[in-house]
Amino acid sequence: MNVAVIGGGAAGFFTAINIKDNYPLAKVSIFEKTKKVLTKVKVSGGGRCNVTNGSSSISELHKAYPRGGKKFKKILEVFNTSDTIDWFEKRNVPLYIQDDNRVFPKSNNSQTIIDCLLNEVENLNIKVYFSYRVQKIEIVKTQLQLIFENEISSKNFDKVIVATGGTPKIEGFQWLKDLGHKIESPVPSLFTFNNPKNELGNLMGLVAENTCVSIQGTKLKASGPLLITHWGFSGPAVLKTSSFGARILKEKNYLFNVQINWINENNDEIIAEQIMEIIKLHKNKKISNIKPFNFPERLWNYLIQKANFPLEKKWGELGKKGIYKLTSVLSNDIYQIKGKTTFKEEFVTCGGVSLEDINLKTMESKKCQNLYFAGEIVDIDAITGGYNFQAAWSTGFIAGKLK
């Protein structure tokens, strides 16, 4: 059996390895359109590679996938996060689970994951071709013919797995549309928010640990740490919001107001009571000297000044109006967003080949026999936290059965 895997990313490598494990006599080739492989693995998790998520609850895991989550449950029942951890650790790559449930190699170096995958491919005699961009797939009797760009050549295969990852341009899916597949329009996901006024630019690098981020005029809302950057806002709360709101924010042309609840408490009365408790205990102390809610000092001073209080003002001098103003800034701080920022190879695209056209028990196309899909090319995507890699491992494992 002669098998082609299109795409040299996580899903492509994992699929190829599983094919060879299942069919040792098969000839398996990986075709990568660029001169590098596993680029997202390299940059993931700040260069540490967030391999998967530490949760083993399928009912919880599927909620992390804004698109395809319910159907992905069936895929996770075949190969889940525990299976991923076992797979790497059996290949001498020990992993650990952080408090936030993200899973990393104990080396804290993505190269460890890359080396593991490269070693498996080499040991299994899987050939990797660089700078081979597939332009078209044609059906030739019982085989599939890959036609490469620039007329490098064409090759026939018994089975083909498409694992090319996401692309933000609909034109990138034309060769799959030509085979009759429905394509859910691709739009960026997992991006950060640009604040053109750069109101918090001097606070870049600071993290507010327990925030709630919401988008005015929508139901979009997410909790978690918020990172202040030199261009605006990032961190899990923002990335989660951008993931669930990928299509909504695209329609808004990335022009909207973001509301930040700095302490993730929706009840203003509770916040006011907490402030009054501080006043009772520290009425003669400066507001800037007592930092409630575990704020970094510079962020707390910024919020005090945003509420129009001098840093020297004492807690006992706030009064009812002052308590109201401070409560408002803490629970409903509004910033104008114009545009987004994505991180080169680390971007994620929502959309892709519709799940309607894929048999999820096998990952085989319903439109073209012997053609399979794995990874981000499929209309399944997730929030940050190792979930997108898990989708690559799970779909790759199933596609690798070639059933």
Phi/psi for 84 (5° steps) reads -60, -50
Give every CB contact of residue 153 below 8 A, 6+ residues apart in sequence. none
> For the purposes of burial, counting CB atoms within 10 Å of the CB of 249, is it exposed (0-12), middle (13-18) or buried (19 or more)?
buried
Contact 372, 358 (CB under 8 A): no
Tell me the two tokens of residue 1: 């059996």
pTM of the model: 0.92
Q: Residue 214: which H helix or E strand, with range?
A: strand 207-215
Place of tokens 């332009």: 135
Closest CA to 289 of 312, 317, 259: 312
pLDDT of 200? 92
Contact 12, 373 (CB under 8 A): no
Q: Hey, what amino acid is at 320?
A: K
Tell me the two tokens of residue 175: 């060769």
d(C-alpha 292, C-alpha 271), whole Å: 11
- The residue count of the chain comes to 403
d(C-alpha 35, C-alpha 32), whole Å: 7
Tell me the two tokens of residue 320: 């009812």
Q: What is the residue-wise DSSP string for 130-185?
A: SS--EEEEEEETTEEEEEEGGG--EEEESEEEE-----S-GGGGHHHHTTT--EEE
Q: What is the pLDDT along the chain (403 residues), one digit of tens a residue?
A: 999 999 999 999 999 999 999 999 999 999 999 999 999 999 998 899 999 999 999 999 999 999 999 999 999 999 999 999 999 999 999 999 999 999 999 999 999 999 999 999 999 999 999 999 999 999 999 999 999 987 667 889 999 999 999 888 899 999 999 999 999 999 999 999 999 988 898 999 999 999 999 999 999 999 999 999 999 999 999 999 999 999 999 999 999 999 999 999 999 999 999 999 999 999 999 999 998 888 999 999 999 999 999 999 999 999 999 999 999 999 999 999 999 997 655 578 899 999 999 999 999 999 999 999 999 999 999 999 999 999 999 999 999 999 8
Q: What is the pLDDT of residues 279-302, one digit of tens each?
A: 999 999 999 999 888 899 999 999
Q: Which CATH number fits domain 2-188+346-399: 3.50.50.60, 3.40.710.10, 3.40.50.720, 3.90.230.10?
A: 3.50.50.60
CA distances from 146 to 132, 194, 364 (A): 10, 41, 17
pLDDT of 156? 96
pLDDT of 151? 66
Domain boundaries, the chain: 2-188+346-399, 191-341
